[in-house]
Amino acid sequence: MAVARQFKSIIGVILIALLLSACASGVKDNTSGQNGDSGGQNTAADLNAAKSSNEKTGDAAEQTGEAAAYPRTFQHVYGVTTLEQPPVRIYAPYLEDALLTLGVTPVLKWSVGELLQDYLEPQLKDVPKIDFAGGPDAETILASEPDLIILYSSDMAAEGRYEQYSKIAPTFVFDNAAGNWEDTLQTLGDILDRKKEAADGAKQYADLVAEAKEKLGPLADGKTFAVVRMRQKELLLMDGVYFSGLTLYRDLGLTPHPMVKELSWEGHVSLSLEKLPDLDADYIFYMIQGRDSQAAAEELMNSFAWQSLPAVKAGHAYQVQTGHWLATGAIANAKQINDVLNDIKD
């Protein structure tokens, strides 16, 4: 599927060909072993996430309201997981946005080489990295002593990896956590006994969306929008159902350029220089993916094809940061909206 391909291209194919043999104390995991069903202005979401910087790393134990009774059982795409006691040390790579929204700091943070989720670094700067370049290191995971592992997608648990993770700690698997970040937030809020924080985070984001739509309404009426990503050897036209596509077209109600609907709605596509002149959107947001892509991006932006685009000629092509535009969650989405509000002013 296009969404699965996009997920793999962004965070890499995650392989763990290691036999892990450790058990977490005081917890039990009952599993089937089978795959079942499945920078801008400050915002409320940013402020809500910032409180996590004052919490001890991995501390999810302090709750608000009435604490849930244990043991608790959760069904997921790979079986049923039982928690005998409240999880305190959480390993949930690429779910850091949701965890911080809940006020939880993970024991490890996702990375690929030097690539981090930069937009979360103010809250995660003191959290050790887990490097997914070539597959995460089993010893690093074991050393972090998680008492709950949460996997971002069923792909991360495939080919026996779920059973390997489950030997370290009880493991919960999302089918695709990026498919609906609000549902992901609510699910994590339930698992971590932080339903109030999940509801607060969702409401703060909804309030921001309503405010932004009111501001953008007269400015965006009758205008079309597109998002492109510049890589070392290709230009990608981004989709409408994933990451910033959902924020712009679903949440803010902006109108996608016809090429987005026709070519890339379900998944990003490569856009040739011959096809680029057809992208006559009123506004274009563009990302440059990594330092290795900088030279190619500059060459593209100096080309006649790029310079001739209506959005470029009107000064309506805006560079945005890959980190939060290729992410989803209350914090990332709020930053995407702030970028739009800062850029679309006339």
Say what the pTM is.
0.81
Q: What is the pLDDT of residues 174-213, one digit of tens each?
A: 999 988 999 999 999 999 999 999 999 999 999 999 999 9
What CATH number is attached to the domain comprising 246?
A: 3.40.50.1980
**Per the domain annotation, does 175 fall within a domain?**
yes
Q: What is the pLDDT of residues 290-311, one digit of tens each?
A: 999 999 999 999 999 999 999 9
Overall number of domains in the chain: 2
147 neighbors 89 (Cβ within 8 angstroms): yes
Claim to verify: residue 52 and residue 197 sit in the same structural domain: yes
Closest CA relative to residue 344, chosen from 210, 209, 225, 207? 225
Helix, strand, or coil (residue 104): coil
Claim to verify: residue 145 and residue 264 sit in the same structural domain: no
How many Cα atoms occupy the beta-carbon half-sphere of 272 within 13 Å?
2
Claim to verify: residue 70 and residue 181 sit in the same structural domain: yes
**Per the domain annotation, does 171 fall within a domain?**
yes
Which of 139, 169, 201 finishes a domain? 201
| The pLDDT value given to residue 65 | 52
**Per the domain annotation, does 78 fall within a domain?**
yes
Claim to verify: residue 232 and residue 339 sit in the same structural domain: yes
Domain extent at residue 71: 2-201
The full length of the chain comes to 346
**Per the domain annotation, does 86 fall within a domain?**
yes
Using the predicted structure, report yes or no on whether residue 35 has a pLDDT greater than 60.
Answer: no
**Per the domain annotation, does 21 fall within a domain?**
yes
Residue 114 DSSP class: T
Q: What are phi and psi of 225, to 5 degrees?
A: -135, 155
